[in-house]
Structure 1
Amino acid sequence: MDSHLKKYGQLIISLSGVVAVWWLVSGLGLVNQNLFPTPPQVLAAAVELYRDGVLISDLQISLKRAAIGFTIGATLGVLVGLLTARVFAVSLLLEPFLTLLRPIPAIALVPIAIVWFGIGEGSKYFVIAYTVFLAVWLNTHAGASSVASTYIRAARSLGANRFREFFEVVVPAAAPHIVVGLRLGAALAFLSLVAAELSGASSGIGFRLQDARQFIQTDRMFVGLIQLGILGALLDSVFVLISRRLVHWESA
């Protein structure tokens, strides 16, 4: 309980300090407020967007896109990661190809995603799922391929078949790495979400950022950035809580 209170206290102090410095710098006119708005200006922009019904609708749309893309990418990433780590034929076939894909950023895939899937939701799901998949696959593969051989030998000596060995030894041993991959994938889902919404979208947080940029409405741009930051932090906290319950043996 004390550790949680300490963590929340540190968060409040950190955020308060950042807002105070932000307010001081912009409020004293050290920078152009048209380029770097004050906290009250950003709050007023958020209230205006909320009253227009844009703030909540964009949030809902972006959350749906991120959730669907993350679910697709994470599911495939875990499955393929386990297979490439433990099945030689699959590793031989897919690992070199996936290694080549890793350096390609999500934003570079936006044009071809639009060509393949159109400007609808399919292209956005594809870009998000692609980014999440690679992050989750890499961590899952690393965890499943580094399972201690003593665990495998112990399971086999106790008469475990391949099925039980995989699900009762390999998967639990790789679980901490999988959780790390999921946390990273969740953060990357929001990064690729913005990339996907910057082109071929008429709604969502990324679209609103692009729309505000065209009219140099930096206060609205800050609202979108703060939304993304809060969403990412909340989602990461959820994964931390889930991992502590599901992968309890790692912290024991």
Structure 2
Amino acid sequence: MRSLAVRVRNLVVPLVAIVAVWQLASSIAIVNPVLFPSPAKVLLAAIDMFRSGVLLKDLLVSLRRAAAGFVVGASLGVTLGLLTSRVRLFSIGLSPLFNLLRPIPAIALVPIAVVWFGIGEESKYFVIAYTVFLAVWLNTHHGMEHVPDTYIRAARSLGASRSLEFLQVVVPASAPHIFAGLRFGAALAFLSLVAAELTGASSGIGYRLDEARQYILVDRMFVGLIELGVLGATLDTLFVWLGRRLIHWEQA
């Protein structure tokens, strides 16, 4: 209980301090209140968006898009990471291509995604899945490729079959890397979500941010940014909690 209280204190105190300084800076006009609205004004904008139903609608739409893109991208990333790390033909044929694609940002894919899939949901899923896939693939590939040889030799000396070696040695040894890739991919899903929702969307957090930009509604822009921050932090906390329970041997 004490450690929980310490964690809560370490989270709450800095946030309260930041909000207090922010409110003070807005109140005494250190910053332009139009370009940098006060926390009170941002809160009022959030309440107004909640009452109109826009806040909850955008949240659910964005969560659906991020979840769908994450599931597709993560599934492909783990599968192809396994293949490129264990099958030489796949490694030679695909690893250079994936490494070439890695530096391309999600927003650069939006135009071609619209051409390929139209302005519907498919183009948004593609952009998110692409970003998640590369992160998960890289971690899976690296984790499985760098399982210590001593583990493999020990398993074989005990007469383990190839399938048993894979399931009881390779997978547990590479699981922390795979899970780290999934955690990073989940964060990237929300980063790429904004890029995906900038074109052909009529709802979602990214769409609402762009709409607020067009009308210079900076308070609403802050609401969207805070939404993304809270979602990302909550999801990351969930992954940390899951990691401690699912990959308990890494903590030992």
Aligned match of 2:98: 98
Using the alignment, how far apart are the partners of 1:145 and 1:225 within structure 2?
38
* TM-score, length basis structure 2: 0.98
Cross-structure match for 2:226 = 226
Distance 2:91 2:106 in 1: 24
- Aligned counterparts, 1:119-134, within 5 A: 119-134=119-134
| Alignment deviations for residues 220-251 of structure 1 (CA, whole Å, 9 cap, x no partner) | 00000000000000000110111111100000
CA distance, structure 2, for counterparts of residue 218 and residue 190 of structure 1:
20
**Matched ranges for 1:13-52 at <5 A:** 13-52=13-52
- Determine the structure 1 residue equivalent to 2:175: 175
**Equivalent position of 1:193 in the other structure:** 193
Matches of 1:135 and 1:86 in 2, distance apart? Answer: 18
| Structure 2 counterpart of 1:70, one-letter code | F
One-letter identity of the residue aligned with 2:10: Q
Q: Distance in 2 between matches of 1:67 and 1:144?
A: 25
Shift of residue 196, structure 1, vs aligned partner: 0.3
Mapped to 2, the partners of 1:222 and 1:243 lie a distance apart of 31
Q: Map residues 49-88 of structure 1 onto 2, 5 A cutoff.
A: 49-88=49-88
The offset of 1:3, in angstroms, is 2.2
| 1:4 Cα offset (Å) | 2.2
The farther-off stretch of 159-168 and 242-251 is 159-168
Q: CA RMSD in A?
A: 0.8
- State the match for 2:205 in structure 1: 205
Q: Which amino acid aligns with 1:86?
A: R
* Structure 2: gaps of 5 or more residues: none
Percent identity among equivalent residues?
66
Secondary structure of the 2:29 match is coil
SS of residue paired to 1:119: coil
CA distance in 2, matches of 1:248, 1:122: 37
- Residue 201 of structure 1 deviates from its aligned partner by 0.7
- The residue aligned with 1:158 is 158
**TM-score normalised by L of structure 1:** 0.98
Offset at 1:2? 2.4
Q: Deviations over 1:15-48 (max 9, x none)?
A: 1111111111112111111100000100000011
Match runs of 1:2-17 below 5 Å: 2-17=2-17
Equivalent pairs counted in the alignment come to 252
Distance 1:246 1:78 in 2: 17
Gap runs ≥5 in structure 1: none
